[in-house]
């Protein structure tokens, strides 16, 4: 049902973004991929999804503009690129704070700013921002990430109101822990920050948050994003959809 629609998923060479891109492509969308990785892997993905790839660094305004220049008019925008760093606030590396806020929050402002004129003109558009359970609740040692994701939730609500009469919806999807490189990579720092073993971090920190005791599957997040792109979701806007095994219900 998405044939003829052009969809951009930022950070779609890995993890959740890749699963969302696959789900949209399966519905017939023309895909623009973004993110880093091995050239050969990316070429294979472009073949698989009949997609264009733009390797822009979205921590900078120039990178965001380069992506949007290369992508052309976009009907479905999924802001997914994100990064995490785990450290106590007093020793949180300042450059990590800047990069996390730039990628997880400010990049979405730039891609939205550049996508909205086309969406408004055709009176149809879908904006899906991949936030996090950490857009609704906090955990220690993740100050930059929690601040950026709460900011993304507020930004999404604001644009939903601005676009409410234009046929353009804007929503967040907020996963709990999904097993991707982003989660894998924070295990060593969490072991250090909390003085725990790897097993303890997985069971007592990550899965402790999720009453289902299961990691969220990226493919489940893809299915939710697809739903938000349907015509039947035209009145779903300004919402922040949890997909977190019950984490934020507690």
Interacting residue ranges for ligand NAD, rule: CB under 6 A: 11-17, 34-37, 57-59, 80-83, 103-104, 130, 132, 175, 177-178, 180-183
Closer to ligand NAD by CB, 21 or 167: give it.
21
Q: One of 74, 75, 111, 145 is an active-site residue; which one?
A: 145
Residue with Cβ nearer ligand NAD (37 or 167):
37
- H, E, C per residue of the chain: CCCCCEEEECCCCCHHHHHHHHHHHHCCCEEEEECCCCHHHHHHHHHHHCCEEECCCCCCHHHHHHHHHHHCCCCEEEECCCCCCCCCHHHCCHHHHHHHHHHHHHHHHHHHHHHHHHHHHHCCEEEEEECCHHHCCCCCCCHHHHHHHHHHHHHHHHHHHHCCCCCEEEEEEEECCECCHHHHCCHHHHHHHHCCCHHHHHHHHHHHHCCCCCCECHHHHHHHHHHHHCHHHCCCCCCEEEECCCHHHC
Told to judge if 177 belongs to the known catalytic residues of this protein, a careful annotator would answer no
Q: How far is the CB of 37 from ligand NAD (least distance, A)?
A: 6
- Nearest distance in Å: CB 177, ligand NAD: 4
Q: How far is the CB of 84 from ligand NAD (least distance, A)?
A: 6
Strand order in the sheet with 168-175: 52-54, 30-34, 6-9, 76-79, 125-130, 168-175, 240-243
Q: How far is the CB of 35 from ligand NAD (least distance, A)?
A: 3
Minimum CB separation from ligand NAD for residue 236, in Å? 20
> Which residue's CB is nearer to ligand NAD, number 187 or number 233?
187
Residue 108 or 120: the one with the smaller Cβ distance to ligand NAD is: 108
87 vs 164 by CB, closer to ligand NAD: 87
Q: Which residues are catalytic?
A: 145
């Amino acid at each position: 049902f998405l044939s003829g629609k052009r969809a951009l998923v930022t950070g779609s060479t890995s993890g959740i973004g890749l699963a969302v891109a696959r789900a949209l492509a399966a519905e017939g969308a023309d895909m623009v991929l973004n993110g880093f990785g091995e050239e050969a892997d990316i070429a294979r993905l472009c073949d698989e999804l009949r997609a264009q790839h733009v390797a822009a660094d979205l921590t900078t305004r120039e990178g965001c503009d380069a992506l949007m220049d290369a992508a052309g008019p976009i009907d479905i925008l999924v802001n997914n690129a994100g990064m995490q760093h785990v450290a106590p606030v007093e020793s949180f590396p300042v450059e990590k704070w800047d990069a996390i806020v730039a990628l997880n929050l400010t990049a979405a402002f730039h891609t939205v700013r550049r996508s909205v004129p086309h969406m408004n003109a055709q009176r149809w558009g879908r904006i899906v921002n991949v936030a996090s359970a950490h857009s609704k609740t906090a955990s220690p040692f993740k100050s930059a990430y929690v601040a950026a994701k709460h900011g993304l939730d507020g930004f999404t609500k604001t644009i939903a109101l601005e676009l409410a009469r234009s046929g353009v919806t804007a929503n967040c999807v907020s996963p709990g822990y999904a097993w991707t490189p982003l989660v894998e990579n924070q295990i060593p720092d969490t072991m250090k920050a909390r003085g725990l073993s790897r097993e303890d971090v997985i069971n007592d920190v990550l899965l402790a948050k999720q009453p289902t005791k299961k990691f969220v599957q990226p493919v489940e997040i893809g299915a939710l994003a697809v739903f938000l792109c349907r015509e039947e979701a035209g009145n779903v806007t300004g919402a922040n959809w949890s997909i977190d095994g019950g984490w934020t219900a507690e």
